[in-house]
Amino acid sequence: MDNVAVVVDDIEAAIAFFTELGMELEGEAQIEGVWADRTVGLDGVRSAIAMMRTPDGHGKLELTKFHTPAAITAGPSAPPPNTLGLHRVMFAVDDIDDTIARLRRHGAELLGEVAQYENTYRLCNLRGPAGIIVALAERIG
């Protein structure tokens, strides 16, 4: 897998959010032209992208802000965790409580609560940029 793309309405806020999670901004670009239209399957594509890289360099998240055509919301703006389709992105963290506190400063909202799975993990789900669900996992065992 090369990357997972997330369409956002505020790319700078999304960059700040994922940087707070420890990701690094690899690069930014403006995307437009016939090749973009053909690739995406839309006419008149003009978008900004930011490629975020995990610290180990193995995972990437592409943040995309569509200027034209404008992004649309399909269904509820904050779909519940049992919605069909791409569900969430999970990040391993060293300190889940500290990470939650830092992400709240970027608008994250905790869904449910932090729960412990056996003696192995502390886990939670947060609502992040553009309403996506971001899961956190802290290994404890």
Over residues 112-131, the pLDDT tens digits come to 999 999 999 999 999 998 88
Q: Reply yes or no on whether the pLDDT at 96 is more than 90.
A: yes
Provide CATH code, domain 4-68: 3.10.180.10
Question: How far is CA 120 from its chain centroid?
Answer: 25
- State the average pLDDT over residues 67-91: 78
- Which tokens in the block code for residue 14? 């999304």
Percentage helix, strand, coil for the chain under 3-state DSSP, each rounded to 5: 20, 40, 40
Q: If you average pLDDT over residues 106-111, what whole number do you get?
A: 94
Q: Where are the domains of the chain?
A: 4-68, 88-139
**What mean pLDDT, rounded, does the chain reach?**
91
In the sheet with 46-53, reading across from the earlier edge strand, the strands are 4-7, 60-68, 46-53, 24-32
Does position 42 have pLDDT exceeding 80, yes or no? yes
DSSP letters, 55-98, are TTSS-EEEEEEEEETTP---S-SS--TT-SS--EEEEE-S-HHH
User: CATH says 88-139 is which class?
Assistant: alpha beta
